[in-house]
Amino acid sequence: MIRTLRTTLAATALLLTFTTAWADTSDSVKALQADWAQAMYQYSGNAKEQALEKLADKARKQAEASAKDADTLIWEGIVLGSYAGAKGGLGALGLVKEAKAAFEKAISIDPKALDGSALTSLGSLYYQVPGWPLGFGDDEKAEQYLKKGLTINPNGIDPNYFYGDFLFRKGRYNEAEAALTKALAAPARPGRELADQGRRGEIDALLTKVRAKRG
């Protein structure tokens, strides 16, 4: 079970990345975005885990100081989820639960913040985290939240990627290919070049798997 949880949370680290138009975010949130991208895509192994641990502390402090700011809460959740993935093991489950709480609070404040990223983020957690008794995973809730995120941001790279990944895991390969193809067609996000590059690489890799399954 520990190995399964570690694998699942490692996947979570690779997947958790959300954003909206760069110009619409505060300087503090931009800093979290930039630091996160650097930690995720320019570090590996222990260096990545240490960078994310440090960033998690920073994100918690920012969220505490801006408890009613949905954008900050969303990025707190993203950082915590990514740190959980890098950390792995049963100890990471507490971090994932923290991330879930941050997303839920952000949704209660403004579900449309960052183009509905809290909804998509929460949906991604529900299908990646193990179910009871280890975790709170729930595929039905996952699809509900992912679809809500797509309603707000139907053409975004992230909501389409996550929905495509969910569909792939459920064996719905035709739908998965459609969602992933739409994700690749999403417009570039100014100021988020590193995140876009990493995401497109993940989409290409997943599309290869989807097409192999389809035969």
State pLDDT tens for residues 27-39: 899 999 989 988 9
The answer to whether residues 125 and 81 touch, using CB atoms and an 8 Å cutoff, is yes
The Cα–Cα gap between 104 and 7 comes to: 24
Query: Between 3.30.465.10, 1.25.40.920, 3.90.226.10, 3.30.70.141, what CATH number should domain 2-214 receive?
Result: 1.25.40.920
The chain-wide mean pLDDT, for the chain, equals 88
The answer to whether residues 59 and 69 touch, using CB atoms and an 8 Å cutoff, is no
| Per-residue model confidence as pLDDT tens digits over 65-116 | 999 999 999 999 999 999 998 998 877 889 999 999 999 999 999 999 999 9
Note if the bond before 187 is cis, omega within 30 degrees: no
The answer to whether residues 155 and 20 touch, using CB atoms and an 8 Å cutoff, is no
Q: Could you tell me the residue ranges of all domains in the chain?
A: 2-214
The answer to whether residues 74 and 113 touch, using CB atoms and an 8 Å cutoff, is yes
The pLDDT assigned to 15 comes to: 47
The answer to whether residues 52 and 96 touch, using CB atoms and an 8 Å cutoff, is no
| Per-residue model confidence as pLDDT tens digits over 44-68 | 999 999 999 999 999 999 999 999 9
Residue 215, pLDDT above cutoff 70: yes
- Helix, strand or coil for residue 154? coil
User: How far from 55 is each of 43, 49, 182, CA to CA, in Å?
Assistant: 13, 10, 31
Does the pTM of the predicted model rise above 0.95?
no
Supply 6's token pair. Answer: 């570690």
Predicted confidence band at 16 (pLDDT cuts at 50, 70, 90)?
low
